[in-house]
Structures are given as C-alpha cells and as structure tokens.
Amino acid sequence: MQWVNRDRDEEADDSSCTFCALPKRGDDRGTNVVARSEHVYVLLNNMPYNPGHLMVIPYDHGGKFHVLDEATVVDCIRTAQTAIAALNDALSPGGYNVGFNVGNAGGASIADHLHMHVIPRWESDTSFLPLTANTAVVEEAVAETYDRVSAALLDRELARPHPERDSVLLAGE
C-alpha cells in the first residue's frame, strides 16, 4: 500500500516537463501549439488517435485535477468549446471524446501536468481502442491538420493571429 499511495506528483519537477516547455520555445508551428488563451494553450497531439486530436493544457504545472483554480477551469472548458467549433468546420467529425486522464493509473501520458483531450470521432473510425495507447489511426499529416485547424480557429469570434507567434490568439493571454 505504501507504493500505491506514494505521491507521484513529487517525482517530477516542471523543469523537465514537456507541457511546460513547449509553449516557452516560441516556435508554435514547429511544436504544434495551435492556439493560446490566457490560462491554457492548445496543442495538436503529434501521435493522434484521430486527425484533429488536440489537447487543452494549462500553462501552470500540476497534475491534480481537484485543485485547479476557477479561472483555469473556465478557460479550459471555453477553449475546448472554441476548439470543437473550429474542428466542426475544419474536419466535420460525427462526434468527440472530451476529457482528462488523471494520474498514471488513470492513463495520463504526462501525469504531473494536467491536459484535456479533445478527440474527433467518426462513425467509421475504430470504435474502441484505449485512448492513451498511442495507437495512431492517422490519415492526415499533423502539419496539414495544423493549417486547417488554425484557419478554422481564426474564424471564431475574438480569435486573431498571435502578434508574435504562428498560433492563434484566443481571448486574453
């Protein structure tokens, strides 16, 4: 039980965290950062379960869902709504899986930095696969997806090209 109960959040620090590092690099296209908001950013998954598979990720490091502050929760959900509206236009999926895998046992690939998956689904796609298995069912290059999702995001109200980056600036930041 000691092993089961150990605090995994203590094992990693944010200096080696991919989700902390990517938005700081400044190469949003090269790192697949497709949009930025005030508290969260949007990252295209480079090993997508389906085309358009993206993640909404708080800038702040942390793996505990139950302590997320209200401003981040609201921005996360609102940004997911904006992303889904854009994906509807860009890719016309038939549905979505939206949600968090929390903790290692919950299947999170990077357990110490929360991230919300938005996965477009089609009636014809593989109907059941573990969503975290990186079993890529990839029919569209991620770079092409980046262009299509960017263009659709720019059609959203309040969205505009980021003044200093390749990504789309959503409200705030």
Please list the active-site residues. Answer: 115
Which residues neighbour 51 within 8 Å (Cβ) at sequence distance 6 or greater?
A: 91, 120, 138, 139, 140, 145
What number of chain residues touch Zn ion (CB under 5 A)?
A: 6
Which residues neighbour 89 within 8 Å (Cβ) at sequence distance 6 or greater?
A: 152, 155
- Closest distance of CB 9 from Zn ion, Å: 11
User: Burial level of 11, CB count in 10 A (0-12/13-18/19+)?
Assistant: exposed
Q: What residues from 54 to 93 belong to the interface with Zn ion (CB under 5 A)?
A: 61
Using CB atoms, what's the residue nearest to Zn ion?
17
Q: Considering beta carbons, is residue 41 or 96 the nearer one to Zn ion? A: 41
Q: What residues from 102 to 131 belong to the interface with Zn ion (CB under 5 A)?
A: 113
What string marks each residue from 9 to 28 as x (binds Zn ion by CB under 5 A) or -? -----x--x-xx--------
Residue 165's region, left for phi above 0, alpha for psi from -120 to 50, else beta, is beta
Q: Considering beta carbons, is residue 57 or 83 the nearer one to Zn ion? A: 57
- Closest distance of CB 41 from Zn ion, Å: 12
Instruction: List interacting residues with Zn ion (CB under 5 A).
Output: 14, 17, 19-20, 61, 113
